[in-house]
Amino acid sequence: MALECSLSALAALDRDDLDAVQALLDACTKALLEPSLWYWALGLTVACALVGALLGMTKGRWLWGLLWGLALGPIGWIVVMLSASRQPLCPECAKPNPAGLKRCRHCGTDLALAATRSSRSRLRDASQSRNWK
């Protein structure tokens, strides 16, 4: 009779019978060392890490997202989504853009030109466009 590792088998176990205790322990050890269980655990861990990396890419921190997803799974995803973005902000609309873009993907401003202008020139341009004196 093959034992199975379950809570009902543990509840029905006679703790004074050392052979029965050893048999249940062997059955539970065999169940925990089953390769298919470890394949599933490894697959889910890799999937959580990849999702964390994808979420981290939206914040400009893909490696950080990969590590949090690998370590904590879905809880790491929450940590990544609540973190601050490291993407540079547009000087005109203050929205994040991936590094290396030539134009802001939100307002279309030339980022290289806008970065060279001073804050005073941006204020002057804003005041002239709204007809302020």
Tokens for 35, please give them: 């390769």
Q: pLDDT of 42-89, one tens digit each?
A: 999 999 999 999 999 988 889 999 999 999 999 999 999 998 888 778
Distance CA 29, CA 21 (A): 12
Q: pLDDT of 4-38, one tens digit each?
A: 888 898 898 888 999 999 999 999 999 999 999 99
Query: How would you write 7-63 as a 3-class SS string?
Result: HHHHHCCCCCCHHHHHHHHHHHHHHHCCHHHHHHHHHHHHHHHHHHHHHHHHCCCHH
At 39 the pLDDT is: 96
Residue 115 CB coordination number (10 Å): 11
- β-pair partners for 89: 96
pLDDT of 119 over the 80 cut: no
At 84 the pLDDT is: 83
At 27 the pLDDT is: 92
- Please state the rounded mean pLDDT for residues 103-112: 82
DSSP string, 59-91: TT-HHHHHHHHHHHTHHHHHHHHHSPP-SPBPT
- Tell whether pTM > 0.75: no
